[in-house]
Structure 1
Amino acid sequence: MIKTHSIVSEACELRPHHIGMPVTYKGVTGYLIRYITACEHNLLSLSLDEVRECLAANAPADTDI
């Protein structure tokens, strides 16, 4: 599976225009962002299918995604 996104720790300094979505997925809590390599703050790399699962798991109860 090709990894397309990452969950990074809150300590990761994101670019000013890059806003991560706070998520918890598979026991990992952090910010969901587009995939990054070689970052010490990368907690979990996700495939597109995993991103969909993550977004569904973190969606507000009154929102359809």
Structure 2
Amino acid sequence: MAMYESDHTKFMREWMEKHPEQRDEQKEGRALWWDKPQSVEEQKRVAAARVPVKPYYYDINN
């Protein structure tokens, strides 16, 4: 049984085969926004600065 593949996925797969130079640009874009190195100290600082979320955001009594 074959797995479903959307038309968009097929298009992108074919397009990337025809334009392999875009793979490097894709990696650069991902590194720009997502792939950031973080130290343990940085992770601890972010966790300590996190503000707890209220159970119900619009309740003014809590």
TM above 0.5, one fold? Answer: no
**TM (normalized to structure 2)?**
0.27
Higher relative strand content: 1
Larger Rg: 2
